[in-house]
Amino acid sequence: MTGIIVEGIPGCGKAEALARFRAHPRAAALRSLVVLGEHYTERAIEHRQQRAPERYEQLMYRILAALEPLRVLTVEGDVFEQEPAARLVYLVERFHLTNVLRHADGDPMMLKRVEGMMRFYNPHTLLIVADPGQLEARLRAAAAQRPAAWRAGLWAGGEDWETAARWCAELQEGYLRLAAHCTLPTEVIDVSTVGVEGVVERMVALVS
């Protein structure tokens, strides 16, 4: 069982990287691929009425529980030993870094507890970052391809592009600070340097 968790601020290229990976020949050759987009991870729990950080921690465990039957099958199923290419690969868009940062003020102790459960699922986190000087242009480009709800969420940082870009830059610094506390494999990839293609290449390498 191999997992890739893709984290990062709005407009950094997460969705594009996931889409390109799924279209890649290596991904097409996988026997078992499960993809959980942010609607099943971050957005599924962000509007809960109970705002206590502990509540979000429990909800993160419930999301992990969705993968548990699949994990058990990879352990118990002989087919995975006979056919290595059949191993399960899962992709998750936004999860522990986003939720701990957003709902628990980046509490490293909560991160440690959640990662304690995550380790059973063999995850590898890719944190995508971008040059702060490019954020406004990236946000404008992303907004042109996204629904109104995406733009509405972006305006949480201020209803103009410059303010939104500044908010995203501060948020990105929060991701980096939290990633420094990770106890599981975590990589920071600068999309401004390697492009989305570089992110996809790393994803392919992780499942090859």
Q: What residues in the chain have per-residue pLDDT under 70?
A: 40, 43-50, 77-86, 156-158
Tokens of 186: 């975590």
pLDDT of residue 115: 97
Tokens of 84: 């290595």
Residue with token string 């042109």: 144
CA distance 168 to 171: 5
CATH number, domain of 65, equals 3.40.50.300
Question: Longest Cα pair distance anywhere in the chain, in angstroms?
Answer: 56
Q: Give residue 138's identity as a one-letter amino acid code.
A: R
CB 193 within 8 Å of CB 14: no
pLDDT of residue 5: 96
For residue 163, CA distances in Å to 23, 57, 197 come to: 35, 30, 28
> Which range of residues forms the domain containing residue 23?
2-207
Tokens of 99: 């939720």
Task: Give 102's contacts (C-beta < 8 A, 6+ positions apart).
Answer: 42, 46
Report how many domains make up the chain: 1
